[in-house]
Amino acid sequence: MRLSHQPCVIAHDARDATLVFMGKPYSNDLRLRVLKALDGGMNKMTAHKTFAVSRSTIEHWIALRARTGSMEANTSYRRGKPPEITDVEMFRAFAGEHDGCALAQMAAAWHERTGRQRSLKFFSRALRRIGWTRKKRVFSTASATRPHETSS
């Protein structure tokens, strides 16, 4: 079985959304071998059994080749939720203006500036996206409970 457990929502409308797990696309080599066998005279049912690929997948590859001239897998789709901040440089400038503020203060300033309210997690993710950390000190302080080592 070729499952990579990548969730995907399939829905005809909002009330009918179903979460399924999609496998990785079949290799281009397998696609070429199946279509070459079909072009050589093998019927779809035999190709289905020989290559262990579903008939609907074979039909899809044939239609894809007829429509685009290629049967390469589409890998340009985005996995996960799209980023809410589209102008990263504008957010970087905003973060620079509010450097040292708590996330709640940044959220209030963002709401004043844009009129849109965002969660604290939103700002945490956005700061991480531009490479900022919320850690204030570079070096940790000495532990008060650990005894200092003295050289003898």
The pLDDT of residue 135 is above 90:
no
Q: What is the pLDDT of residues 76-111, one digit of tens each?
A: 776 777 777 778 888 899 988 988 888 899 999 999
Residues 6+ apart with CB under 8 A from 51: 30, 33, 34, 37
The rounded distance, in Å, linking the Cα atoms of 17 and 146 is 56
User: According to the model, what pLDDT value does residue 70 have?
Assistant: 83
In what helix (H) or strand (E) does residue 34 lie, and over which residues does it extend? helix 28-39
- pLDDT given at position 21: 53
Structure tokens at 146: 């650990």
Rounded Cα distance between 98 and 148, Å, is: 38
Are 58 and 44 a contacting pair, CB within 8 Å? Answer: yes
